[in-house]
Amino acid sequence: MVKIVGITQARIGSSRLPKKVLLKIKDKTLLEYHLERIKQSQFVNNWIVATTNEAESDAICDIATKVNLQFYKGSLDDVLDRFYQAVKDENADYVVRVTSDCPLIDATLIDETVQFCISNKLDYFSNVFEDKYPDGLDVEVFSFKKLEEAWENAILKADREHVTPYIRRKVDLSQYSNDLIDEKYSKIRITVDEVLDFNVIEHLIETLGANQSWEIYADYILNNPKIKEINGSIIRNQGYMKSKFEEIKLRNITNFVASDEYRKTIHQLIPGGCHTYSKGDDQFPILSPAAIVKGKGAYVWDVDDNQFLDCSMGLTSVSLGHAYDSVVEAVKSELNNGVNFQRPSHLEKEIAEKFLDLVPGHDMIKFSKNGSIVTTAAVKLARAHTGRKLVAFPGDHPFYSYDDWFIGKTACNKGVPDEISELSVTFKGCSIQSLKELFEKYPDQIACVISEPEKNQCANCTCENTNEEYLKQAIELCHANGALFIADEMVTGFKTEFPGTITKYGITPDMATWGKGIANGFSFCALTGKKEIMELGGITREGEEKVFLISTTHGGETHGLSAAIATIDVFKNNNVIEHNHALGKKLIDLCSQLIQENNLNDYINIMPSVWMPVFVFKDQNKQACQGFRTLFLQEMIRRGILFQGVFVPCFSHTEEDIYYFAKAFSESIKVYQQALKEGYEGLLKGSPAKAVFRKLL
C-alpha cells in the first residue's frame, strides 16, 4: 500500500499578523479549524504538524496534541529541513504539503490532488497550477524521493524557506495543467495573511459554519462583493516573491562605448540603420545596445559584451530560444548539402506536408522568406479569385506588409501613389458593425478582409464582440458579400495556440499567413489556403490564365526549410505553448502585484494576454507617454533586460528569468515614481523613442 504522510507547516511568528494561527473564532483557534478539516482526508495516512523550535511554538504543539496529531519542532528559516526531518522516519512514499494559515482548506481537494498525483505516477502535483482555486486551498503532493533530493541539493534561500521550489524546477510541470475549474475563483482569498483575511474567515465561519465545501465558501464570496472587497487587494504569494528578490543580484549595465561607436556610423551606411524599422535607434533609449553579437536561449550579448535577458525575441520570431540546439543542428547538417539548386529541394514536399497537417481545412501552401511577401500574395490571390480591387483590413492593427497596399494607408505613405492607397479600405478591428458598414459602402468591390485573428488587447477586450464571435461572424460576412477572409497569423501563429488562433477558435479562413515563430527566427514564412483559391497560382490548369504568385530565388532555401521542420518537431513533442503561457501569466501576475503595491494602477497598464503581455506607460496625467515609456526601457536595460515594452515568452525562458524581470521591474518602478513627481526629462538620457509609423522624422 502507498503510504502518504501529510505535513502542515505552522508557526507563531508572522510579520503581517503575529500568532495568526492562534486567533480564535467562536472559541476555537484557526489552527484547530485547519487541523479538523485536513483530518477528513481519506487518503492521508497520518498528519504531522511541523512547527518551529521557538519556545512560543509550544502552543501549537499543545493544539496538535489536543486533536491527536503528531508534531515536530524544527528550524524556523530552513523550512525544507524542518519538513524533511518531520517526515524522514515515516517510510512515506508520498508527502502532502499544506500550510496552517488555511483554516478552510478542503479535504476533498487534498484527496483529489493526491489521487491525481499517484494515479498518473507523477513525482509532483499541485492544485496551484494556473491559480484556478482561491488562495487558501493550496495542496502539493510529491514523492518522498523528490523531497529528499531537494533537501540534499537545494542551496538557494528561497528554496530552503519555501520547501518546494527546488522540486518544481526539477520536474516537467508542463504536463500537469489542470483545467477543471473556472479561473473566476483565482482572485478570492480564504487564507489568513492579514487581519482583513481574518475578518473574511470570521464572517464565513459565523455565517456558513466551518464544515462546508470550498465551493460553498468561494461562491458565497463571489456572490457578496462587499465580502470579496474586504481582502481583495491583498497580494498572493508575496512572501515568495520577496525572498526571490533578496537572492537575485541585478546586473548594472552602464558601458555602451562600442554601441555608441556603432550608432555614429551605421546611418551613413544603411538607411534607417538596420533592416527593420522597429529595431532602429529611434525605438530605444540612448543607453541601450546598438547591435547584438550573439544570442543563446533567452539571452543576448551586445557589441560591448553586455548580457541581456531578451524579451522581444527577434520581433517575436524566436519561439524556442536563440540558437536552439535541435534547430541549429538540423540547419547545420542541411548546410552541408548545399542551399539552393536549379530545381526545388526535396525538403519542400516534406515541409509542405508537415505544415498542412497542422492547418485544418487548408490544402495548399507557398513559402517565402518574409511575412510581407505572403500577406501580399494572399491579397493578390484574393483579387484574382474575386475579380475585385479593394482590400480591407482593421485600421487599428499595426502591420501587415511593407508593400504599398498596406504602407499607403499609414502615416508614412510617401512614395506610394494615391491611386494605390485608395484601393485599401479600413474598418475598426474586432467590430462586426464597422465591417458591415464597410461592405455597405463598397458593395461588390471588396476582394478580401485580412485581419490578425487575435490581438493582445483581446485579453481584456471591451469590444462589442468577443474575439471568437468577431472571427466567426467576419468570415460569414465576407462570404455573404462574395469576399475572402485571410487570417494573418504572423504574430499569433505558434503563440496563442499550436499552430495558432484559427485552431484555438476552430475557424477556417480562406487563407492564412504564417511567419515569425514558425522557424525559430529563420527566414521562413508561409501562405496556406483552400485548394480552389491557392491553385490559381499553379501551372496545371491548362488553358487558364496564370496568376504570378510567389516566385523568388531564395524562397525555398534549404536551411530555412530544415529550421521549420525542426521547430515544428519541438512544438509537437513538447508542451511549448503551455510553458510559454505559464511564464507569460507569471510575469503578468508578478508585475501586476508590483504595480498594485506601488499604487501605479493609473500609470502602468499590462495587456494581460499570456502569450505576449504588452505594457503601457503613462505620464502624470495618465496619458500614454513615449517619454515615460522610454525611461522605463532605459531602467530595465540598465538592469540587464532588453525590454521594449513587450514580453514574448519563449521555450528557453525560465521561471527564474521571470523573477529576474520582476525584480528589475520593481527597481525600475522606483525611478518611474520619481519621474511622476519631477518629470521624466531629468532622468532619461537622450530623447524619447518615436513611433515607427510617423509622417515626419
Ligand X SMILES: Cc1ncc(COP(=O)(O)O)c(C=O)c1O
Q: Which range touches ligand X (CB under 6 A), out of 159-167, 205-213, 393-401, 650-658?
A: 393-401
Instruction: State which of residues 94, 125, 299, 399 lies at the interface with ligand X (CB under 6 A).
Output: 399
Residues from 577 through 616 that contact ligand X (CB under 6 A): none
Residue with smaller CB distance to ligand X, 459 or 519: 519
C-alpha cell at 684: 532619461
Q: Which range touches ligand X (CB under 6 A), out of 461-469, 483-491, 562-570, 669-677?
A: 483-491
DSSP 8-state code for residue 602: T
Asked whether position 159 contacts ligand X by CB under 6 A, the answer is no
Q: How many residues belong to the site for ligand X (CB under 6 A)?
A: 13
Residue with smaller CB distance to ligand X, 134 or 273: 273
Yes or no: say if 430 and 458 are a contact pair by the CB < 8 Å rule. Answer: yes
Closest alpha carbon to 168 in 156, 179, 182, 180? 156
- Helices in 39-139 by DSSP H: which ranges? 58-66, 79-87, 107-119
Residue with smaller CB distance to ligand X, 52 or 523: 523
Dihedral through CA 210, CA 192, CA 595, CA 620, nearest 10?
90
CB of 316 to ligand X, least distance (A): 8
Asked whether position 372 contacts ligand X by CB under 6 A, the answer is yes
| CA 452 – CA 463 distance, rounded (Å) | 15
- Sole residue written with cell 555602451: 256
Site string for ligand X, 119-158 (x = CB under 6 A): ----------------------------------------
Q: How many CB atoms lie under 10 A from the CB of residue 85? A: 16
Yes or no: say if 505 and 518 are a contact pair by the CB < 8 Å rule. Answer: no
Yes or no: say if 590 and 382 are a contact pair by the CB < 8 Å rule. Answer: no
Residue with smaller CB distance to ligand X, 98 or 365: 365
Instruction: State which of residues 435, 459, 490, 576 lies at the interface with ligand X (CB under 6 A).
Output: 490
| CA 135 – CA 273 distance, rounded (Å) | 50
Residue with smaller CB distance to ligand X, 289 or 394: 394
CB of 315 to ligand X, least distance (A): 6
Residue with smaller CB distance to ligand X, 50 or 491: 491
Q: Which range touches ligand X (CB under 6 A), out of 163-171, 234-242, 487-495, 541-549?
A: 487-495
Site string for ligand X, 352-371 (x = CB under 6 A): ------------------xx
Instruction: State which of residues 154, 491, 507, 549 lies at the interface with ligand X (CB under 6 A).
Output: 491
Residues from 624 through 653 that contact ligand X (CB under 6 A): none
| CA 226 – CA 242 distance, rounded (Å) | 29
Residue with smaller CB distance to ligand X, 105 or 518: 518
Yes or no: say if 486 and 450 are a contact pair by the CB < 8 Å rule. Answer: yes
Cβ-closest residue to ligand X? 371
Distance between alpha carbon 370 and the CA centroid of its chain, in Å? 25
Asked whether position 400 contacts ligand X by CB under 6 A, the answer is yes
Asked whether position 424 contacts ligand X by CB under 6 A, the answer is no
DSSP 8-state code for residue 53: S
| CA 195 – CA 204 distance, rounded (Å) | 14
DSSP 8-state code for residue 456: G
Strand blocks (E) in 386-536: 390-394, 424-427, 446-451, 484-488, 511-514, 525-529
The 3-class SS string of 672-690 reads HHHHHHHCCCCCCCCCCCC
Cis amide linkage into residue 165, ω under 30° from 0: no
CB of 32 to ligand X, least distance (A): 58
CB of 401 to ligand X, least distance (A): 6
CB of 493 to ligand X, least distance (A): 10
CB of 500 to ligand X, least distance (A): 12
Q: Which residues of 430-465 are buried (b: 16+ CB within 10 A; e: fewer)?
A: bbbeebbebbeebeebbbbbbbbbbbbbbbeeebeb
- Sole residue written with cell 478539516: 37
Instruction: State which of residues 29, 401, 644, 652 lies at the interface with ligand X (CB under 6 A).
Output: 401
CB of 18 to ligand X, least distance (A): 53
Residue with smaller CB distance to ligand X, 185 or 505: 505
CB of 381 to ligand X, least distance (A): 16
Question: What is the full DSSP assignment across 386-402?
Answer: H---EEEEETTS--S-S
Asked whether position 375 contacts ligand X by CB under 6 A, the answer is yes
Site string for ligand X, 180-199 (x = CB under 6 A): --------------------
- Sole residue written with cell 534549404: 558
Asked whether position 452 contacts ligand X by CB under 6 A, the answer is yes
Residue with smaller CB distance to ligand X, 371 or 429: 371
Instruction: State which of residues 488, 497, 557, 578 lies at the interface with ligand X (CB under 6 A).
Output: 488
Q: How many CA atoms lie within 13 A of 478 on its CB side?
A: 27
Q: Which range touches ligand X (CB under 6 A), out of 133-141, 228-236, 337-345, 395-403?
A: 395-403
No. of helices (H) and no. of strands (E), the chain: 26, 21
DSSP 8-state code for residue 22: G
Asked whether position 295 contacts ligand X by CB under 6 A, the answer is no
CB of 554 to ligand X, least distance (A): 14
CB of 278 to ligand X, least distance (A): 7
Question: What is the full DSSP assignment across 294-324?
Answer: EEEBTEEEETT--EEEESSHHHHT-SS-BT-
Residue with smaller CB distance to ligand X, 64 or 379: 379
Asked whether position 507 contacts ligand X by CB under 6 A, the answer is no
Task: By CB under 6 A, name the binding residues for ligand X.
Answer: 370-372, 375, 399-402, 452, 488, 490-491, 515
